[in-house]
Chain A
Amino acid sequence: MTARIYVPRDSAAVSVGADEVAEAVAQVARQRRLELQIVRNGSRGMFWLEPLVEVATPAGRVAYGPVTAGDVPGLFDAGFVEGAAHPLRLGPTEDIPYLKNQERLTFARVGITDPLSLADYEQHGGWRGLRAAIAMQDRDIVEQVTASGLRGRGGAAFPAGIKWRTVLGAAADQKYVVCNADEGDSGTFSDRMIMEGDPFVLIEGMAIAAIAVGATLGYIYVRSEYPDAEHTLRAAIAAARQAGFLGPSVLGSGKAFELDVRRGAGAYICGEETAMLDSLEGKRGMVRPKPPLPAIAGLFGKPTVINNVITLASVPIILDRGARFYADYGMGRSRGTLPFQLAGNIKHGGLVEKAFGITLRELIHDFGGGTATGRPVRTAQVGGPLGQYLPVAKFDTPLDYEAFAAAGGMVGHGGVVVFDDTVDMAQMARYAMEFCAIESCGKCTPCRIGSVRGVEVIDKLRHGERRAQNLVLLRDLCDTMTNASLCAMGGLTPGPVISALDHFPEDFGLPPVSPPAASKASR
């Protein structure tokens, strides 16, 4: 039997030398006349171990990492092809606690399969959701998704089934399914990992959505900074079409669904769904007022399902295993799992898919292993650049949309960026305004001018200029931005600013909140 070696193709792995490692493996195998099959799989999501090389053994896959090209001859010498011992040997992959303790539904195949192998996909449970959907009435598909409790994973957490029901009920000569893959939040990468590591699951999810609502055309709007994801998607779409999973009659159902990829315009705001529609239409990406909802008048004015990558990629398993199966995970009104992304100053950065309800403390400490610098954690920003900075005192709040909101936070897209005790929170508040100033589309006044004035006022505060008056002004400005902005960009920018100010006033030259520094750091 030919030995099989797995070297990830995921760009996180490639960025730390996975291509060179794969090349080295191939080269050494040639030199030693060994028959080897190298599979370029997706990433397992343990970034501190990348490049993570796996070998298939009769007892299952065994992991080695992080591997450099220079380590490869030594690995061969040690007999890693048979799973032998080596200082880099991590043991059976599935037994690594970081992976073992996850609940991988959406990411079930990522890192395991060859992302572009239709056979691999099928073998690992692929297309079962689509086949089930084809056998169902459109409204029953929508009801399954509704009953699963699946909510928009892009951040807004709107129930996917209700959105689909609106599109299904809208009469039109053309409907669309658009996948928002403009993953622009700092510290997030789950969309990219799906697109690079298991593109067929996204294609399958979109095909199900299309059949459910009566759409015949779909687009994936991919962030321009994700060239590998774009290439992988294009190749996967071509293969799926060739095999009849897309095209004029999906799996012979008589229902057409064509899918194409559009490269994003390189602006954060194009991840806002209505700005994305403008951009898809070839226009400058500017936020549209709602109503009309895109579900009624979306792309080119037609009813359009817009969902994030993770939302759509979670659909096949719901249709395959049933709404109940999925809804059994999670808590409260947050059902199923969320792929959290650990980033920033963290020892074990990567992807952790867990049911809703896990706490930040568990994520950062149990999975993440604390900070990379080894210093105490001071705060984490959850939910992207517009998410709040949470003090350690709030780290036990369960990650559930409602519970987290009640604690003054935002789950959003599940990004967690960790900071140690050297962080200057006034600078982070300024950064939030600056980010908004750079990324604002410029349409509405509170965001367009407010963000620039926000930077200026924070600078004045930091320099101790008319502190009392500028503090009032900053809060007034944040109130205007929160309540008067056209979209979430301007509306949520005050989140990180006000949370920094409320929880860490001492960084703005104000008296600290009580109880003082005792809870400043944890563990």
Chain B
Amino acid sequence: MYSVKEFDGGTPLRVSEQLVTLEIDGAPVTVPAGSSVMRAAAEAGVRVPKLCATDTLEAFGSCRLCLVEIEGRRGYPASCTTPVEPGMKVRTQSGKLAQLRRGSMELYISDHPLDCLTCPANGNCELQEMAGAVGLREVRYGTQGKNHLALAKDESNPYFTFDPSKCIACSRCVRACEEVQGTFALTLDGRGFDTQIAAGAGNFLESECVSCGACVQACPTATLMEKSITDKGQPDHTVVTTCAYCGVGCSFRAEMKGSEVVRMVPNKDGQANHGHSCIKGRFAWGYASHPDRITKPMIRASIDDPWREVSWDEAIQYAASEIRRIQAKYGRGSVGAITSSRCSNEETYLVQKLVRAGFGNNNVDTCARVCHSPTGYGLKTTLGESAGTQNFDSVDHADVVVVIGANPTDAHPVFASRMKRRLREGAKLIVFDPRAIDLARTAHVEATHLLQLRPGTNVALINSFTHTIVTEGLHKEDYIRARCEHDAYDKWKAFICDPRNSPEAMEEATGVPAAKVRAAARIYASAPNAAIYYGLGVTEHSQGTTMVIAIANLAMVTGNIGRPGVGVNPLRGQNNVQGSCDMGSFPHEFPGYRHVSDPAVRALFSTHWGVPLEPEPGLRIPNMFDAAVDGSFRALYVQGEDIAQSDPNTEHVTRALRSMECIIVQDLFINETAKFAHVFFPGSSFLEKDGTFTNAERRISRVRKVMPPLAGLADWEVTVALSNALGYPMHYDHPSRIMDEIAKLTPTFTGVTYDKIDRLGSIQWPCNDKAPEGTPVMHVDEFVRGKGRFVLTEYMPTDERTSRKYPLLLTTGRILSQYNVGAQTRRTQNVVWHSEDRLDLHPHDAENRGIVDGDWVAVRSRAGETVLRARLTERMQPGVVYTTFHHPESGANVVTTENSDWATNCPEYKVTAVQLVKVAGPSEWQRQFGDFTAQQADLLPKST
């Protein structure tokens, strides 16, 4: 069921410039052409009874409660399926209509259990509500008739139940699965009275269902019901907030009972998600109250000592004294911090401010270093702004969608559903990926071209793609001449047209047949609107930045920037990657991507913050590790990032961590990094604080506190306290004050206030005098940098090459049910779907090595070795293997190397040469990891 008291217009809102005026119950109503009579009535405040209709789905016309009388028409048309016409006179109430509605309702209730008082939907059940609305007073058919009351409940899904005895066969669930989610997991089985909802062949858990929750939300009865509601009852109030998982940034209504969450429901008014959700945001929030949460600050002198629970004061004073001691001994530059893409803009802003103003250096970096740093660099260089060009709604206008190195159905599921809807409407899809991702062939969607390239050859492929367009004259010379730098373009054009960049020349490197590249390129270039969406398969390479630039070149040369339906769209991995980058988390940039060496910018911040600021960029994360091993970097404050699990070459990272004297970890859980820490600040989840997140479309949305922080302080309050203890005073009584400061200092944020976000729902930056309500689509009349700049993108093969010893290429990624290092999702029932990371390989590679499905296999690279269980799949191409990195004991990053992007040091996670050997048990690293984990667990206070 929907969240309590949400408006439901019955059928979807139509957009049309043509307006139609009709009369409903004597009152005139004007609505867009194409609207249903039901919608028109709802807009006029007239509620026509309904059960099968809801405004997130197309009308179906099955419940027959919404019948109306229309002057001059025979019979009783259903208002949900009848479009409005000018001058129509509609009556929604009459004696006959009342009789017919009661007649249908009586039939419904003749096959429904009469257990309303003990039903979990009691208080929010549309069937109950409609029985009341139509005035049903008796059911004359008796209780002995045929019915479905004895059907068994399906409780297989960990988050919701399916009780067919309560089903009214309205098909809202089936339609939600098709129209909203696009998975087509549900169907109607049987016909007539035997019509039943069926999830594939078996139960919900074993079906194709992805647990997005759309069906549960759409169900008007208790047939599909969240187990949390069954356990806890209906909520007493709701708070609108923003999901803390991926970069889609879905708006949710947290349904509360006091300070306890009973349900998370996607917000129909949410501008990023329009009422849709995925398994993570919808259901996997239980981690926030998991018993593993650390709720008391802790300190210890050495990582071999037991942890000691202390007061906040003591922990903060201890941390501050250690930082000051280390700075005194090793110099001002011996300390630094890492901001988190999972924390709010305000928290991230404070950490970088603490480093620059409090620590007095620029040693601040963020986890975006290891994901989208090349995006910032590449897009800034070419287009002038370090961000995606569109809003998500833009995809509704795309005729061709190119997905490069992204797996949206797993990593950005809510946007993927939106994209799939557009693809089902007929937009064409081109995929660049070493793997056959789900999107390439899924229900009613199939890529026109799946360019299954060899890992590490992105630039070779896109150069040959663009070469085809320019040499075949399919580019938009007028657009380029009007909007781009001519000299740079001419130079680039000569480069890209060189035969060495032709599909034929590149075929050997990429493994993609030249004819296929040419065919795909022609489709992209000839579409009225073509949009590119990309992910970490673009950035996490030695040529990550080159590839981002090449994407921008491609979009510019075909005129695909500056209007809805086109653009260059990075799909951000975490909830606030965009925001953490915007907030000045990089060592070389202040908030708003302004270089620290710029005296004017430095003067602005220096004046405002009241301290002199360092003109030299600080250390990036990999530099911090190297400096730690060297001995020059001694203390690190890590807010919400688990570098020990997520960064490449684990052995090097742990060596660096062991070398430091003071590691301060601020997190919800004892993560892998915390095992090496000396100070632990218990973190606050997104439910426990106010703030804002900025999603992949530059959309700033509010995070609202629904419960007090479990540890007493929100993360931003801890940073403030630490700064004060360090002698650099910070005073904010609410995160809105922090945003006010950000707005004052950042030109792209000058119009942003909490009040305005509350009023508009969310704001896409830039938001300033030129765009007071934000900017859905960027670079409309001109590029942010003025003229677009083409940059040469010579293909350079990575140093990470296969050899006789390491003949296969490993690439890594994530899966729908788990989220990054898994700290949150592993502490939910999502483990039902993914309890371990597996190694995917092609059956040929398996056969050569005598590996069968389920075997333990050692994955050996130049950096290290780990052991995973094999899964044979033709999704892989021969020669390429794949794994996820959600479980720390998998050690995926023990194997990955320190190779990185030439411009930003973003690690080359996506290409590691490996060999596979069938083995009997875990690797040496895994044994050590197990021992260390057990040892660290013993050092935790026993009471927790």
Contacts and interface: CB of A to CB of B under 8 A. Distances in A.
Contacts of B100: 479-480, 483-484
| Best-buried of B59, B75, B103, B191 by chain A (most CB within 10 Å) | B191
B104 A437 contact: no
A444 interface: yes
B107 A442 contact: no
A438 interface: yes
A372 to B, nearest CB: 33
Nearest to B102: A480
B329 interface: no
What interface size band does chain A fall in?
35 or more
Nearest to B61: A289
B195 interface: yes
A448 B145 contact: no
A439 interface: yes
A484 B104 contact: yes
Interface in B53-81: 59-64, 67, 75-76, 78, 80-81
B195 A449 contact: no
B64 A446 contact: yes
B103 A442 contact: no
Given A453-B107, A473-B140, A483-B76, A284 B188 contact: yes
B107 A450 contact: yes
A98 B171 CA distance: 52
Nearest to A486: B61
Contact of A440 (B59, B110, B191): B191
A449 B107 contact: yes
B45 interface: no
A484 B192 contact: no
Contacts of B64: 444-446, 484-486
A337 interface: no
Given A289-B59, A446-B64, A449-B110, A439 B192 contact: yes
Nearest to A267: B191
B141 interface: yes
Q: Is the interface of B mostly helix, strand, loop or mixed?
A: loop
Contacts of A269: 191
Contacts of B193: 437, 440, 442, 448-449, 451-452
A440 B169 CA distance: 13
A321 interface: no
B188 A291 contact: no
B141 A445 contact: no
A439 B190 CA distance: 11
B804 interface: no
B111 interface: yes
Contact of B192 (A290, A446, A451, A453): A451
A451 B188 CA distance: 19
Interface in B109-125: 110-111
A261 B733 CA distance: 75
Contacts of A95: none
Interface in A413-471: 436-453, 456-457, 469
B187 A452 contact: no
B770 interface: no
Contacts of A69: none
A479 B145 contact: no
Contacts of B140: 469, 473
Contacts of A441: 191-192, 195
Given A445-B104, A484-B67, A486-B64, A438 B76 contact: no
A442 B104 CA distance: 14
Interface string B619-654: 000000000000000000000000000000000000
Contacts of A16: none
A477 interface: yes
A229 B91 CA distance: 48
| Best-buried of B64, B83, B100 by chain A (most CB within 10 Å) | B64
B146 interface: yes
Contacts of A502: none
| Best-buried of A267, A456, A485 by chain B (most CB within 10 Å) | A456
Contacts of A439: 191-192
A366 interface: no
Contact of B169 (A284, A446, A448, A484): A448
Nearest to A456: B145
Given A449-B193, A473-B140, A483-B75, A444 B107 contact: no
A94 interface: no
Interface string A263-295: 000010100000000000000101001110000
Contact of B62 (A436, A443, A451, A473): A443
Contact of B107 (A267, A286, A438, A446): A446
B81 A291 contact: yes
Contacts of A440: 191-193
Nearest to A436: B192
A484 B97 CA distance: 9
Given A449-B108, A484-B76, A442 B83 contact: no
B107 A480 contact: yes
A157 to B, nearest CB: 15
Contacts of B78: 289, 486
A476 interface: yes
B85 to A, nearest CB: 10
B541 to A, nearest CB: 42
Interface in B35-67: 59-64, 67
Contacts of A267: 191
B111 A449 contact: yes
A91 to B, nearest CB: 50
Contacts of B111: 449
Contacts of B107: 445-446, 449-450, 453, 480
B191 A446 contact: no
A439 B64 CA distance: 19
A449 B167 CA distance: 13
A268 to B, nearest CB: 10
Given A289-B81, A449-B110, A480-B103, A442 B61 contact: no
Nearest to A479: B103
B194 interface: yes
A272 to B, nearest CB: 13
Nearest to B187: A284
Nearest to B105: A445
A453 B193 CA distance: 10
Nearest to B193: A452
Contacts of A451: 192-193
Interface in A478-523: 479-480, 483-486
A447 B107 CA distance: 10
Contacts of B61: 289, 443-444, 486
Contact of B195 (A291, A448, A479, A486): A448
Contacts of B203: none
A224 to B, nearest CB: 15
A476 B107 CA distance: 11
A435 to B, nearest CB: 10
Given A291-B81, A453-B110, A486 B62 contact: yes
B414 to A, nearest CB: 26
A456 B63 CA distance: 21
A480 B146 contact: no
A463 to B, nearest CB: 12
Contacts of B67: 483-484
Contacts of B168: 445
B108 A442 contact: no
B291 to A, nearest CB: 47
| Best-buried of A438, A442, A444 by chain B (most CB within 10 Å) | A442
Interface of B: 59-64, 67, 75-76, 78, 80-83, 96, 99-100, 103-104, 107-108, 110-111, 140-141, 144-146, 168-169, 171, 187-188, 190-195
Given A439-B191, A480-B104, 7 more contacts: A437-B193, A441-B195, A445-B64, A453-B110, A456-B146, A457-B141, A479-B103
9 contacts: A290-B81, A441-B191, A442-B169, A445-B104, A451-B192, A456-B144, A479-B100, A480-B100, A486-B61
Q: What 4 A-B pairs have minimum CB-CB distances, sorted nearest first? A: A442-B195, A480-B103, A289-B81, A289-B61
